[in-house]
């Protein structure tokens, strides 16, 4: 497969159906019928022997009936493809065209002399290539706001909020690429009480068997699997640990990567090492992203990676730069959704605009003290039999249905707000503030000279505050007040600056 062809390969894409010449009259993957109806060769018998005549136009027609087309690529130019089952595009080359002719002439028509003549005269020239029918308009995402599609070996699964049904590829109103298919025969399964997929039990464990947290996680996975891009819901899903050790470093090991792997079995995904995305940026970080990818997974990003780096990817299209090659743009409706995992909090500039772009899900530390194999008796994915795979795919599709029916089912955070505060300031600062502020109904406010308060923190925590300025300290105090639900004021009196933190006044009841 050429580089351009690789740009459109993947799992779970479609292209707009282009009408074929009288498609009802033949099967594009024919291997058993004679070519006589296509008449791309004739044999004349004379006194001098047999003469074989072939016409370029008829040879071209033969290849088009066999499903060969030229597909327009995003970077310009065309790639040779072959249509199978009226919907599946297989990237091809001249060797495949030669093999198609050989099978027809040797195995079906039993005309070895014609095959010899075909090889001698080299009919696969640029003339045939240039004249072949083109597929110019390519629609790569058939999903709509209400319909999602998954492509299995034995058919297309159409999913709505209330229904799942199988469509034969011959009846599917779109194209997909051969390697976009999920390599598994799928059977629709209706769950009963004693039917439970291992992966679903795993998700219940990592949400601490809390139904609201479970719905939040599974509906978010459904959002990621639904390939429709909605401008009113542009968010990155971020998986973080519920418990973070800020003093000894983040531990991980909670199953976040296993969740990303599961989604990638249903949606064509580009998996990126988050540690390779350095703070200074890497213009070629996205160079292996192409139009086939519906999900970009950035696994294990570092603590100094800010969310602003991904903002444009979440809210709009993206530009892909490749080393030594022309860059190209992926429009919003075809750009991949974003799934991030981190052992740290994913910080940014803050504000409502940023928060509206995040779906932050806390993963319980359940599997830090036990292994998947110990609990389930096997490793996930690699040790599963056909029955467990089918349970897994069916269950994942129910998460997509949950999203189509309810959208994102948000739940209240566990430690997220506190962990964000510590991550955006410092553990020592939060500890210092809690010790010195500690407001309640009796002590309703703290007023301190800002410079003296700052000095007190630096003296108690000289190492942690080494690079801290008084302006940054002021911002940290503001973040602290928001999380603790306090009011904060910065006052000046007699050329001195004061910090006033107070308990929020309860609104008076209307009379």
Query: Which residue from 87, 89, 41 is spatially nearest to 68, judged by alpha carbons?
Result: 89
Instruction: Provide the CATH topology of domain 198-418.
Output: Rossmann fold (3.40.50)
Q: Under DSSP, is residue 159 helix (H, G, I), strand (E, B) or coil?
A: strand
Task: Characterize the bridge pairing of strands 88-91 and 176-177.
Answer: parallel
Residue 280, pLDDT score: 52
Residue 192, pLDDT score: 64
Residue with tokens 């249509």: 83
* Tens of pLDDT, residues 349-382: 666 777 789 999 999 999 998 999 999 999 999 9
- Cα 167 to its chain centre, rounded Å, is 24
Compute the distance between CA of residue 229 and CA of residue 297 in angstroms, rounded to an integer. Answer: 16
Residue 202, pLDDT score: 97
Query: Which residue from 314, 286, 84 is spatially nearest to 179, judged by alpha carbons?
Result: 84
Residues 429, 435, 436, 441, Cα dihedral to 10°:
130
DSSP conformation class of 171 = G
Compute the distance between CA of residue 344 and CA of residue 189 in angstroms, rounded to an integer. Answer: 38
Query: How many CB atoms lie under 10 A from the CB of residue 64?
Result: 18
Residue 38, pLDDT score: 63
Query: Which residue from 186, 185, 178 is spatially nearest to 88, judged by alpha carbons?
Result: 178
Q: How confident is the model at residue 414 (pLDDT cuts 50, 70, 90)?
A: very high
The residue-averaged pLDDT of 30-36 equals 39
Of 269-273, 311-315, 439-443, the range with the highest mean pLDDT is 269-273
Residue 494, pLDDT score: 84
Task: Characterize the bridge pairing of strands 78-84 and 68-72.
Answer: antiparallel
Residue with tokens 């999203």: 403
Q: Average model confidence (pLDDT) for the chain?
A: 84
CA 425 vs CA 432, 433, 457, 511: distances in Å: 12, 11, 13, 42
The answer to whether the beta carbons of residues 113 and 121 sit under 8 Å apart is no
DSSP conformation class of 270 = E
Query: Which residue from 384, 404, 409, 407 is spatially nearest to 164, judged by alpha carbons?
Result: 404
Residue with tokens 């993947």: 10
Residues in the chain: 511
Residue 460, pLDDT score: 95
* Tens of pLDDT, residues 214-229: 999 999 999 999 999 9
Query: Which residue from 260, 349, 344, 345 is spatially nearest to 299, judged by alpha carbons?
Result: 260
Residue 23, pLDDT score: 33
What is the chain's alpha carbon radius of gyration, rounded to the nearest angstrom?
Answer: 31
Residue 278, pLDDT score: 60
* Tens of pLDDT, residues 45-100: 888 888 888 888 888 889 988 989 888 876 567 888 999 988 888 989 989 999 99
Structural domain boundaries of the chain?
17-135, 198-418, 425-503
Q: How confident is the model at residue 194 (pLDDT cuts 50, 70, 90)?
A: low
Q: How confident is the model at residue 507 (pLDDT cuts 50, 70, 90)?
A: low
Q: How confident is the model at residue 11 (pLDDT cuts 50, 70, 90)?
A: very low
Helices (H) and strands (E) in the chain, counts: 16, 20
Which residues have a Cβ under 8 Å from the Cβ of 431 and sit 6 or more positions away?
none
Q: Under DSSP, is residue 80 helix (H, G, I), strand (E, B) or coil?
A: strand
């Amino acid at each position: 497969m050429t580089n351009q062809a690789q740009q459109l390969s993947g799992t779970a894409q479609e292209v707009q159906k282009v009408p074929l010449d009288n498609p009802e009259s033949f099967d594009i993957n024919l291997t058993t019928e004679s070519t006589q109806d296509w008449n791309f060769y004739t044999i004349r018998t004379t006194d001098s022997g047999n003469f074989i005549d072939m016409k370029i136009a008829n040879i071209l027609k033969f290849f088009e009936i066999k499903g060969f087309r030229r597909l327009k690529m995003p970077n310009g130019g065309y790639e040779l493809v072959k249509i199978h089952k009226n919907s599946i595009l297989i990237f091809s080359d001249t060797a495949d065209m030669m093999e198609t002719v050989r099978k027809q002439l040797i195995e079906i028509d039993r005309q070895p002399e014609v095959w010899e003549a075909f090889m001698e005269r080299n009919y696969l020239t640029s003339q045939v290539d240039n004249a072949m029918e083109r597929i110019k308009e390519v629609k790569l995402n058939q999903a709509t706001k209400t319909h999602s599609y998954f492509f299995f070996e034995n058919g297309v699964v159409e999913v709505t909020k209330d229904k799942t049904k199988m469509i034969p590829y011959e009846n599917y109103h779109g194209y997909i690429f051969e390697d976009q298919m999920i390599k598994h025969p799928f059977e629709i399964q209706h769950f009963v009480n004693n039917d439970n997929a291992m992966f679903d039990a795993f998700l219940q464990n990592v949400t601490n068997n809390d139904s609201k947290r479970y719905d939040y996680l599974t509906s978010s996975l459904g959002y990621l699997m639904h390939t429709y891009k909605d401008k009113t819901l542009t968010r990155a899903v971020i998986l973080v640990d519920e418990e973070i050790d800020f003093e000894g470093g983040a531990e991980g090991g909670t199953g976040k990567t296993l969740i990303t792997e599961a989604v990638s079995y249903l949606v064509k995904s580009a998996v990126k090492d988050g540690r390779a995305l350095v703070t200074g940026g890497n213009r070629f970080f996205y160079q292996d992203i192409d139009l086939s990818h519906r999900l970009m997974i950035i696994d294990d990003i570092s603590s100094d990676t800010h969310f602003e780096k991904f903002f444009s990817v979440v809210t709009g299209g993206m530009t892909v730069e490749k080393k030594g090659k022309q860059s190209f743009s992926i429009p919003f409706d075809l750009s991949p959704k974003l799934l991030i995992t981190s052992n740290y909090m994913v910080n940014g500039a803050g504000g409502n605009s940023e928060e509206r772009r995040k779906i932050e899900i806390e993963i319980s530390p359940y599997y830090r003290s036990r292994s998947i194999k110990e609990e389930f008796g096997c490793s996930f994915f690699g040790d599963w039999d056909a029955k467990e795979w089918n349970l897994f795919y069916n269950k994942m599709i129910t998460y997509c249905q949950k999203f189509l029916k309810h959208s994102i089912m948000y739940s209240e955070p566990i430690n997220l707000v506190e962990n964000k505060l510590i991550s955006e300031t410092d553990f020592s600062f939060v500890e210092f503030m809690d010790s010195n502020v500690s407001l309640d109904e009796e002590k309703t406010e703290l007023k301190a000279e800002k410079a003296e308060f700052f000095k007190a923190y630096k003296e108690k925590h000289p190492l942690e505050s080494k690079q801290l300025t008084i302006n940054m300290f002021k911002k940290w105090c503001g973040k602290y007040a928001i999380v603790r639900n306090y009011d904060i004021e910065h006052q000046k009196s007699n050329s001195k600056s004061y910090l006033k933190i107070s308990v929020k006044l309860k609104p008076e009841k209307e009379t």
